[in-house]
């Protein structure tokens, strides 16, 4: 299928075209990369925007239960929901696969939902690019909300925050030193903290945890992109489907406020620049990773180590020979 036709079908809401386009953006073959780039430019022209929600939480906190319940609620409101995942570890761990349809059975049967597991790549940069482009394809396909799920470990939150309009951190109730468990940097990224499992025996602990986080959030520096009262901590029970509508209301309030005050467009522009920079860096590194470049690097390294060549001259020689396309 020609890129033009594929693009038209996606814009018309054809699900098979959507799945095919995502497979295309996930491919690393050079000809597929060129097609994917043309397709994304075509789709961008349609100017459609979804609300992109990044969602992070450690395994077991209730991400898939939450996404299923939250997604079903959104569908009940007449919205179309896509779920994507960013999980650089999925190939290695063999553990729970983010975005796995069997973990969201009801949602996966809905015609207004689209669920795509994380691309299997162990390199975060590769997963990030593919997921970001999948987000763009889903957006063009007319989804209203795109949930981008990630695990609460390492660098993947940063990557997800750079492709989301708002970032939600899902936590479980716990006693004692809970606050120590969440890295400050991750807390600073959150627009909304949701303390899940606020039900049954866990309710008192959830209430305590939620007020601890609300207190901690108040201590953070006020960010210009936030309306009064944000970032905020709230309680939900994904299981009992409590607090989900309230959480969505707060998200909508945040989105509307940012749109009205120019922060929405500004953030999207900053993100585009961030990814442009990342693409340039990755392309440069790829050119230095060819067999010939690696061999030259090894030769030059020996000479630098032996003191025959200054590091700067060796670098200059490396770049002048191997950076040209």
Largest interatomic CA distance in the chain: 71
Produce one character per residue of 75-84: b if its CB has 16 or more CB atoms within 10 Å, e if not.
beeebbbbbb
Site map for ligand GDP, 189-218, x if CB under 6 A? -------xx-xx-x----------------
Closer to ligand GDP at the Cβ: 164 or 237? 237
Binding status of residue 85 toward ligand GDP by CB under 6 A: no
CB of 92 to ligand GDP, least distance (A): 17
Closer to ligand GDP at the Cβ: 15 or 183? 183
- Would you list the DSSP string of 127-147? HHHHHHHHHHHHHHTT-SEEE
Restricting to residues 231-270, name those near ligand GDP by CB under 6 A: 237-239
CB of 239 to ligand GDP, least distance (A): 3
Among 3, 56, 65, 150, binds ligand GDP (CB under 6 A): 65
CB of 86 to ligand GDP, least distance (A): 14
| Residues 275/161, Cβ–Cβ less than 8 Å | no
- Strand order across the beta sheet in which 166-171 lies: 113-116, 81-86, 145-151, 51-57, 166-171, 192-195, 232-235
- Would you list the DSSP string of 149-176? EEESSTTHHHHHHTT-SEEEEEE----T
Q: Which residues make Cβ contacts (< 8 Å) with residue 77, sequence separation at least 6?
A: 248
Phi-psi category of residue 284: left, alpha or beta, with phi > 0 → left and psi -120 to 50 → alpha: alpha
Closer to ligand GDP at the Cβ: 196 or 209? 196
Binding status of residue 57 toward ligand GDP by CB under 6 A: yes
Closer to ligand GDP at the Cβ: 57 or 71? 57
Binding status of residue 53 toward ligand GDP by CB under 6 A: no
**Closest by CA position to 223, among listed 171, 274, 194, 188:** 188
CB of 13 to ligand GDP, least distance (A): 29
Secondary structure (3-state) at 250: helix
Binding status of residue 63 toward ligand GDP by CB under 6 A: yes
CA 112/CA 246 separation, integer angstroms: 22
Q: Name the CA radius of gyration of the chain, rounded.
A: 22
Binding status of residue 100 toward ligand GDP by CB under 6 A: no
Binding status of residue 59 toward ligand GDP by CB under 6 A: yes
Binding status of residue 62 toward ligand GDP by CB under 6 A: yes
Binding status of residue 64 toward ligand GDP by CB under 6 A: yes
Binding status of residue 60 toward ligand GDP by CB under 6 A: yes
Residue nearest to ligand GDP according to CB distances in the complex:
62
Q: How many residues bind ligand GDP (CB under 6 A)?
A: 17
Question: Candidates 28-36, 62-70, 113-121, 209-217 — which segment interacts with ligand GDP by CB under 6 A?
Answer: 62-70
Question: Candidates 61-69, 156-164, 260-268, 298-306 — which segment interacts with ligand GDP by CB under 6 A?
Answer: 61-69
Question: Which residues here bind ligand GDP, judged by CB under 6 A?
Answer: 57, 59-65, 96, 196-197, 199-200, 202, 237-239
């Amino acid at each position: 299928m020609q890129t033009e036709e594929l693009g038209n079908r996606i814009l018309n809401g054809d699900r098979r075209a959507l799945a095919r386009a995502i497979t295309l953006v996930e491919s690393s073959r050079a000809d597929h990369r060129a097609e994917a780039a043309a397709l994304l430019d075509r789709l961008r022209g349609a100017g459609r925007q979804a609300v992109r929600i990044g969602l992070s939480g450690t395994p077991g906190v209730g991400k898939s239960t939450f996404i299923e319940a939250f997604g079903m609620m959104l569908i009940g409101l007449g919205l179309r929901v896509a779920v994507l995942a960013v999980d650089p570890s999925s190939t290695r761990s063999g553990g729970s696969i983010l975005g796995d349809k069997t973990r969201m059975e009801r949602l996966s049967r809905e015609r207004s939902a689209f669920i795509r597991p994380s691309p299997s790549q162990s390199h975060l940069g590769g997963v990030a690019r593919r997921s970001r482009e999948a987000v763009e394809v889903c957006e063009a396909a007319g989804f209203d909300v795109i949930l981008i799920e990630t695990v609460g470990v390492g660098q993947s939150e940063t990557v997800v925050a750079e492709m989301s309009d708002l970032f939600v951190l899902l936590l479980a109730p716990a006693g004692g030193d809970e606050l120590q468990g969440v890295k400050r940097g991750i807390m600073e990224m959150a627009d909304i903290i949701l303390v899940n499992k606020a039900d049954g025996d866990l309710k008192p602990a959830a209430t305590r945890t939620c007020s601890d986080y609300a207190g901690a959030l108040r201590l953070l520096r006020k960010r210009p992109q936030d309306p009064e009262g944000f970032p905020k901590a709230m309680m939900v029970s994904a299981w009992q489907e409590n607090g989900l509508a309230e959480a969505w209301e707060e998200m909508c309030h945040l989105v509307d406020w940012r749109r009205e005050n120019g922060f929405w467009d500004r953030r999207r522009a900053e993100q585009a620049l961030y990814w442009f920079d990342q693409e340039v860096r990755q392309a440069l590194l790829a050119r230095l990773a060819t067999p010939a470049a690696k061999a030259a690097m090894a030769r030059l390294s020996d000479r630098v180590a032996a003191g025959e060549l200054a590091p700067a001259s060796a670098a200059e020689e490396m770049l002048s020979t191997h950076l040209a396309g």
